[in-house]
Structure 1
Amino acid sequence: MYKVLIADDEEIIRRGIAHFLKKDPDIQVVAQAEDGEMALEQAMEYHPDLLFVDINMPFLNGLDFIEKLKTVQPDALILVITGYDDFKYAQKALRLGVFDYLLKPIMEDTFYEALGKAKDQLGHRQKQAQYLEWARALVEKNRPALIAEFLEGWLDGRFTEAEIQERISALGLELPEPVGVTLVHLENKDNAEIGGEWDEDLLFYAAENMANEVFQTLRPVSTCRNSAGELVLLTAGEPRAVWEAAGEQLKHLLQTHLPVDVFLTRRLGDTLQGLPAAYEGASEDLRTLLETPQLVRDAKKYIEENFAREEFSLTEAADYTHVSPQHLSRVFRQSTGITFMDYITRVRIRRAIELLRDDDHKMYEIAEAVGYSSQHYFSSAFKKVLGVSPMEYKKSLQKRGEPNP
Structure 2
Amino acid sequence: MYKVLIADDEEIIRKGIAGLLKGDGEMQIVAQAEDGETALELAEKFTPDLLFVDINMPFLNGIQFIEKLKGLLKDAVVIIITGYDDFQYVQSALRLGVYDYLLKPIMEDVFYKSLNRAKDELKSTREQTKYLEWAKVLLEKNKAKLTENFLNDWLGGHFCEEEIDERVHFLGMKLPEEFGIVVAGLDYKNNMEIGGDWNDDLLYYAAENITRELFEPFNPAALFRNPAGNLVLISACQPQDAWQDTVKTLRRLLEEHLPVRVTLAQSAGNGRREISVEYEHALSRFYELMEVPQLIKDVQNYIDENYRNEAFSLQDAADAFHVSPQHLSRIFRHSMGITFVDYVTRARIRKAIELLSNEEMKIYEIAELTGYSSQHYFSSAFKKVLGVSPAEYRKNEQNKISAAM
Instruction: Bin the TM-score by the shorter chain.
Output: 0.5 to 0.7
Q: Which residue of 1 is the match for residue 273 of structure 2? A: 273
Q: Which residue of 1 is the match for residue 231 of structure 2? A: 231
Q: Which residue of 1 is the match for residue 150 of structure 2? A: 150
Q: Is the 8 A contact 1:32 1:39 kept in 2?
A: yes
Q: Is the 8 A contact 2:188 2:194 kept in 1?
A: no
SS at match of 1:241: helix
Which runs of no fewer than 5 residues in structure 2 stay unpaired?
Answer: 294-402
Do the aligned partners of residues 52 and 289 (structure 1) sit closer, same or farther apart at CA in structure 2, a change above 3 Å counting?
A: same
Q: Is the 8 A contact 1:191 1:259 kept in 2?
A: no
Question: 1:242-282: CA deviations, max 9, x gaps?
Answer: 32222222222333344432110111122222211211111
Q: Which has more radius of gyration?
A: 1
SS at match of 1:57: coil
Do the aligned partners of residues 192 and 158 (structure 1) sit closer, same or farther apart at CA in structure 2, a change above 3 Å counting?
A: closer
Instruction: Please state how far the C-alpha of 1:75 moved relative to its aligned partner.
Output: 2.4
What does 1:360-371 align with in structure 2 at a 5 Å threshold?
Answer: none
Instruction: Please state how far the C-alpha of 1:120 moved relative to its aligned partner.
Output: 1.8
TM-score normalized by the length of structure 2: 0.66
Question: 1:66-92: CA deviations, max 9, x gaps?
Answer: 233334433221111123444443344
Do the aligned partners of residues 221 and 56 (structure 1) sit closer, same or farther apart at CA in structure 2, a change above 3 Å counting?
A: closer
What does 1:147-186 align with in structure 2 at a 5 Å threshold?
Answer: 147-186=147-186
Q: Distance in 2 between matches of 1:158 and 1:116?
A: 49
Amino acid at match of 2:18: A
Q: Which residue of 1 is the match for residue 96 of structure 2? A: 96
Q: Which residue of 2 is the match for residue 109 of structure 1? A: 109
SS at match of 1:173: coil
Do the aligned partners of residues 191 and 261 (structure 1) sit closer, same or farther apart at CA in structure 2, a change above 3 Å counting?
A: closer
Percent identity of equivalent pairs: 55
Amino acid at match of 1:271: G
Q: Is the 8 A contact 2:50 2:77 kept in 1?
A: yes
Amino acid at match of 2:270: D
Q: Which residue of 2 is the match for residue 363 of structure 1? A: none
Q: Which residue of 2 is the match for residue 210 of structure 1? A: 210
Q: Is the 8 A contact 1:183 1:233 kept in 2?
A: yes
Instruction: Please state how far the C-alpha of 1:12 moved relative to its aligned partner.
Output: 0.6
Q: Which residue of 2 is the match for residue 134 of structure 1? A: 134
Q: Distance in 1 between matches of 2:188 and 2:118?
A: 64
Does residue 45 in structure 1 map to residue 58 in structure 2?
no
Q: Distance in 2 between matches of 1:242 and 1:210?
A: 17
Q: Which residue of 2 is the match for residue 61 of structure 1? A: 61
Do the aligned partners of residues 28 and 208 (structure 1) sit closer, same or farther apart at CA in structure 2, a change above 3 Å counting?
A: same
Q: Distance in 1 between matches of 2:26 and 2:177?
A: 53
Q: Which residue of 2 is the match for residue 10 of structure 1? A: 10
Q: Is the 8 A contact 2:211 2:250 kept in 1?
A: yes
Instruction: Please state how far the C-alpha of 1:237 moved relative to its aligned partner.
Output: 0.9
Do the aligned partners of residues 59 and 201 (structure 1) sit closer, same or farther apart at CA in structure 2, a change above 3 Å counting?
A: closer
TM-score normalized by the length of structure 1: 0.66
Q: Is the 8 A contact 1:80 1:100 kept in 2?
A: yes
Question: 1:305-324: CA deviations, max 9, x gaps?
Answer: xxxxxxxxxxxxxxxxxxxx
Instruction: Please state how far the C-alpha of 1:225 moved relative to its aligned partner.
Output: 1.5
SS at match of 1:52: strand
- Which is further off, 143-152 or 21-30? 21-30
SS at match of 2:74: coil
Q: Which residue of 1 is the match for residue 123 of structure 2? A: 123
Q: Is the 8 A contact 2:50 2:76 kept in 1?
A: yes
Question: 1:225-253: CA deviations, max 9, x gaps?
Answer: 11222111112212323322222222223
Q: Distance in 2 between matches of 1:71 and 1:197?
A: 56
Q: Is the 8 A contact 1:191 1:197 kept in 2?
A: no
Amino acid at match of 1:145: K
Q: Distance in 1 between matches of 2:125 and 2:89?
A: 27
Question: 1:130-155: CA deviations, max 9, x gaps?
Answer: 11111111111111111111221222
SS at match of 1:115: helix
Q: Which residue of 2 is the match for residue 262 of structure 1? A: 262
Q: Distance in 2 between matches of 1:228 and 1:284?
A: 13
Do the aligned partners of residues 194 and 49 (structure 1) sit closer, same or farther apart at CA in structure 2, a change above 3 Å counting?
A: closer
Aligned-residue RMSD, C-alpha = 2.7
Q: Is the 8 A contact 1:237 1:268 kept in 2?
A: yes
SS at match of 1:116: helix
What does 1:388-403 align with in structure 2 at a 5 Å threshold?
Answer: none
Do the aligned partners of residues 68 and 211 (structure 1) sit closer, same or farther apart at CA in structure 2, a change above 3 Å counting?
A: closer
Question: 1:20-59: CA deviations, max 9, x gaps?
Answer: 2232232222222222333233323332211111222233
Amino acid at match of 1:254: L
Q: Is the 8 A contact 2:2 2:27 kept in 1?
A: yes
Q: Distance in 2 between matches of 1:162 and 1:193?
A: 45
Q: Is the 8 A contact 1:181 1:279 kept in 2?
A: yes
